[in-house]
Every structure is written in C-alpha cells, then in structure tokens.
A and B are shown apart, each in its own frame.
Chain A
Amino acid sequence: MSQGGGVLSDALLVARKDLLLERRAKIGLGQVLPFAILVLLLFAFALDPDRGILKLATPGLFWVTVLFSAVLTLQRSFALEAEDGILEALRLSGMSPAGIYLGKVTALTIELLLLEAVLVLGVAVLYDTKFLGIPLLFAIALLATLGIAGAGAVYGALAARLRSRETLLPLLLLPLLAPVLIAATRGCEVSLEREAMSGWPWAALLGIFALVYLTLGSFLFRPLLEDA
C-alpha cells in the first residue's frame, strides 16, 4: 500500500535514523554501556571471585547483564518515538509498520551487538575468561540478540506510551526472554567447554525464537502503531 519504497527501504531509513540518534545523543555509549560494566562489577562483589563461582557462572551473568541493558536500550529507543507526537508523525508518514518495526529491530540489534562486544572484553579482563568455540559464540550472540530485539521491539512499542512503562516493560519482556537466556547461557557454556554436548541445538532454538518473533512483530506492528 505504500507507494514510496517498500518495507525494506522504510526499514533502512528507520534504522539509519536510530543509529544517527545514538551517534548524536550517545545514550547507549554514555549510559547503558557503563551501567552494563557496573553490573559485571556488582556480580563480582556479590560472588567472591576467589571461590570460582564467578568463573563458573560467567555465561549466565553475561546474558543477564545483556538482558538488563537491553531493557534500558529498548526504553530509550521507544521513548524517543513516543515524544513530541512522533508516533502520530510516523503514522502520517505512510511508512509501512513492518518496515518501521524491522528498522527499529535492526538498529537495536546493532547497538546491542556492539554492547556485547565490549562486555565480552570486560568479561575476559574482569572474570579472566578464555574463549573457545568462536563460531558457535558468534552464532549464539547474533541469534540471541535478534531474538531479544525482535521480541523487545514489540513490547517496547506497546509500553512506550504508558506512564508505567519503566516498570511494565521488564515485567512483560523478561519472562518472554526466559528461553533466550537459557539457550544463550547453555550455548555459551558449551562453547566454553563447560558442558559436554553440542551447542548447535541451542543456537537453533535461538534461531527459531528470533524467526518466530520477527515474523510476529512484522504483523503485529500495524495494530500496535494504530491502536496501542
């Protein structure tokens, strides 16, 4: 129905706009990233590094940190769209809702992957982690992040205009992401050789999660933008 360009060009436009906004305002770099590193420190304080718990729990702590940071990133990403009548403007623009959704997801995925990259360095330095099974790690990080962004964008948009969005978004989103946390953590443990099984089924589960929610989000974003 949109005459000017399809879903893909709308998605690119929105993704570029979001990344530009991050470059201008630097909320991710200046606030979310330091918060994430802080959480890594807090885990070290809570779980004495000398008793080896920290090392054992590293994959889980890493992904919990990513989830919390993702919630903050999502809040920011959709607060932007709820201010200054932007949601009305987006509806008036005639862009396809699926395009807007995929654009938001793309920008979120890129931002979160960059955050994870820095966090991996943080884990390597702070928790003294050795990395093995690099291809699996990459696959898991990419698929898990796509899933987090894909499901997160649906609920991020849903909560954006609610006054209680700060408390509501984690309540809605974190249980939804429970399988992502499980699969990503187990997958990473495998690649760090803590589990004696193949990690690829976990990657597959993450892939299915991402695919399901990206599809669902593309369809649900129209009613979300129109009526929610």
Chain B
Amino acid sequence: MSAIVHLRSAVALIGRFPALAGVDLDVHSGEILLLRGPNGAGKTTLLGVCAGLIGLTTGEALVLGEDLTTNRRAVRRRVGLLGHDSFLYQDLSVVENLDFWSRAAAATVADGRAALDRLGVASRLFELPVHSLSAGQRRRVSFAAMICRRPELWLLDEPHAGLDSAGRDLVDGLMAEAATSGATVLFASHELDRAEHVAHRSVTISGGVILDETPPSSETRADL
C-alpha cells in the first residue's frame, strides 16, 4: 500500500497568510479520501498543494512519488483538479473547450468527446458557448475536461456543488469507478451525508491542520 500523497508538517502560504499550518496527511493508492472542514480551513489550498500549483514554505510533500519541494511541475500532468473555477473559456463552445484542453494535456480530441459522453453532457449543448450553460451543465463540462486527461490522482473541490441529484449520483459513480480502476481520489465536501457514503475514509481539517482521522466507514470500504 503505497502513499500517493504524503505530507509532513506542510506549511503553505497564501500571500502571507498560512493557509496550511503544518499538515500531516497520507492518502493511499486506490483510496477515496474525504476532506472535511469549515470554510477557510485550508481544504482548497491542500488540493492546490497536491496538484503542484501551490508551493510549500516548509515541510515535506511527496505526490505520486514526486518530491514537490524540489519540482512542482512533474506531478501536474498526472493529476486532475476540479476547482471552484470552471477552467473553461467562457466564449468558446463546449467542444472547442474540450478539444483545446484535451490536446493541451496531450490527450486526444476523441478522449475529450468520450469524457463529455461519460458526464452525460447532451450533444445539443456541444456547440453552445460555455457562458450560456447552466451552472450544473458547466460543472459537468469542467469535470469532463478533467477526466479526459486520465489523471492518476483526482483532486476535487466540492464536486457535488451546483449539481442536481442525478449529477451527484453520476459524480459518486465516477469517483468509485476511478478508485477501482487504480486512481486515487481526494475530495473536499460539505455534503457530508453523501460524501461519507462514497468515501473510504475522511479527515477533518481546520485552522490549517488535520484534526482527526475518522476510521473507514463500514459499508464502502471496498478493496484496500
């Protein structure tokens, strides 16, 4: 059981504010880990650190075997980040966005189309500019742009936000499927009922540190 994410005493600053104030965290291969915590606890920053976007001030960070304190770039192609922002060009159509982002990530245009399919984005929306989509539809397109990269580590910030219940079921299914096919999922959520159901394990972050670790929930502890 290898650690996909391994953080020790990780301190990360946003400006001069210590968003992470000494985080210790291990996420294991094939695991679905839920990050809980109040607003401003450091969840988004933690995901950003794991994606290699935010550097550490002090501490250790190994993600997918890459040492982030020496090189933050190597890990980026191998992770998928679903953030608060859409990561989409508002004026381009759905397929134009997917074509661009899949090719930018060295995937193929076909990967992009397949991902849209997988997310249940109706083909009548394909030619519409992203700014004219509803929040839920846009979220699905962002999700598609993320999975077309075939990431080894999924980093999801509030993946259920803005989705209807069908969309949420879809997201849960995708996470479970990712974990069984060997990827690892780290996600932050406020929707604890739903999130705890799909997660193997959850940790609480508050004030920039990990507070406690909840043992694996009884029902969904599948294949670790």
Which A residues fall within an 8 A CB radius of B?
Answer: 1-5, 10, 13, 17, 20-21, 24-25, 80, 83-86, 88-95
Task: Name 10 interchain pairs, CB-CB below 8 A, sorted by A.
Answer: A1-B74, A3-B106, A84-B85, A85-B87, A88-B48, A89-B101, A91-B53, A92-B53, A92-B81, A94-B77
- How many A-B pairs with Cβ below 8 Å? 76
Asked if B103 is at the interface (CB within 8 A of a chain A CB), the reply is yes
Contact of A24 with B91 in the complex, beta carbons under 8 Å: yes
Kindly name the residue among A4, A5, A92, A94 whose own CB sees the greatest number of chain B CB atoms within 10 A: A92
User: Which label, helix, strand, loop or mixed, suits the secondary structure of the B interface?
Assistant: loop
9 tightest Cβ-Cβ pairs between the two chains A and B: A4-B106, A85-B85, A94-B77, A89-B87, A93-B104, A25-B91, A24-B91, A92-B76, A84-B85
**Cβ contacts B73-107/A at 8 Å (1 or 0 each):** 11011010101111111111100100011011111
Closest to B84 in A: A85
Closest to B97 in A: A17
Please measure, in the bound complex, the distance between the C-alpha atom of A4 and the C-alpha atom of B51, giving whole angstroms.
Answer: 19
CB distance from A85 to the nearest CB of B (A): 3
Which B residues fall within an 8 A CB radius of A?
Answer: 48, 51-53, 73-74, 76-77, 79, 81, 83-93, 96, 100-101, 103-107, 129
Closest to B79 in A: A92
Contact of B105 with A94 in the complex, beta carbons under 8 Å: yes
CB distance from B56 to the nearest CB of A (A): 14
CB distance from A20 to the nearest CB of B (A): 6
Measured between beta carbons, the chain A residues less than 8 angstroms from B88 are 84
Measured between beta carbons, the chain B residues less than 8 angstroms from A95 are 104
Contact of B89 with A80 in the complex, beta carbons under 8 Å: yes
CB distance from A62 to the nearest CB of B (A): 30
Please measure, in the bound complex, the distance between the C-alpha atom of A4 and the C-alpha atom of B84, giving whole angstroms.
Answer: 27
Please measure, in the bound complex, the distance between the C-alpha atom of A227 and the C-alpha atom of B82, giving whole angstroms.
Answer: 21
CB distance from B69 to the nearest CB of A (A): 15
Contact of A13 with B84 in the complex, beta carbons under 8 Å: no
Contact of B87 with A88 in the complex, beta carbons under 8 Å: yes
Measured between beta carbons, the chain A residues less than 8 angstroms from B91 are 21, 24-25, 80
